[in-house]
Amino acid sequence: MAGLFITFEGPEGAGKSTQVRLLAEWLREQGRAVLTTREPGDGGVVGAEIRQLLLHHHDMTPEAEYLLYSADRAEHVRTVLRPALERGEIVLCDRYLDSSLAYQGYGRGLSLGWLRAVAEGVTGGLKPHRTFLLDLPPEVGLMRFDSRDRLEREPLEFHRRLREGYLELAMAEPERFVVLDATQSVEAIQQSLRSFLASML
C-alpha cells in the first residue's frame, strides 16, 4: 500500500479527536491527501448502528462487546481504510485494534491471544505504520467530561487497567508507538505530532 496509516490511542479525555483534526488541517496545508476516521462508527451504515449499540447498550458480555467492535472494524477496514491507503492517502484514525486490546483485554480481562486471533481475520493483518499514544492519568481524563457514555462510566480501577495496558502495549512495540504526555497543552502535543510526522514524510 502506498498510503500512510497513523492511529491515535489513549484513555478517555486524552484529546485524540482534537489532535487528529488539527494534524489533518496542517497536513492538508502541506498539500497532502488526508482521510480522518474513527472507530467505532465510521464503517458506513453498519458501523454507525454498531457504535450506538456499543456506547449505549448496557447489558452486554465482554465477548459480545469485542465481537461488535470487530464487526465494525471489518467494515471499516474493507470500506474505508484499505481503499484510502490504496489511493495513497494519509489516514489518521482515532482508535483501532489497540483500543480493543486495552479495553476488552486489560480492562475486561479477555485473552489477548484470542483478541489478536480474531483481529487477524477481521483486518487481514492491517497494522498502523505509527501509533501515537496520548497518555494521561484516568483521574485527569475523566474530569474532562460533563456527561459520560457507557465506557466512560466504568469504575476508576477499570480505567487504571486501561492505562497500564496501553503502556504495556507501547513497551512491547517501541518501533510503532510514540507515547506523548497528554497533560501538556493542546499546542505542545500538536507540535510534537507534527515533528514526528514530518520525519516520516
Q: How many domains does one find in the chain?
A: 1
Edge to edge, what strands does the sheet with 34-38 contain?
34-38, 90-94, 4-9, 130-135, 177-181
Collect contacts of 86-89 with beta carbons under 8 A, ≥24 apart.
Answer: 86/1, 86/2, 86/3, 87/2, 87/3, 87/33, 88/2, 88/3, 88/33, 89/3, 89/4, 89/33, 89/34, 89/35
Answer whether 0.85 is exceeded by the pTM: yes
Enumerate the known binding-site residues. Answer: 10-17
The percentage of the chain sitting over the pLDDT mark of 70, rounded to a whole number, equals 92
CATH of the domain at 25: 3.40.50.300
Query: Cα separation of 149 and 74, whole Å?
Result: 23
Q: What is the largest CA-CA distance in the chain?
A: 46
Which pLDDT does position 142 carry in this prediction? 60
Query: Cα separation of 162 and 53, whole Å?
Result: 21
Which pLDDT does position 12 carry in this prediction? 80
Whether the ω angle into residue 11 lies within 30 degrees of 0, i.e. cis, is no
Domain that holds residue 14: 4-200
Which pLDDT does position 82 carry in this prediction? 96
- State pLDDT tens for residues 120-155: 999 999 999 999 999 998 877 566 554 455 566 677
Which pLDDT does position 47 carry in this prediction? 80
Which pLDDT does position 143 carry in this prediction? 60
Mean pLDDT of the chain: 90
Which of the 8 DSSP states describes residue 10? -
pLDDT < 70: residue spans in the chain: 1, 141-153
Enumerate the known binding-site residues for ATP. Answer: 10-17
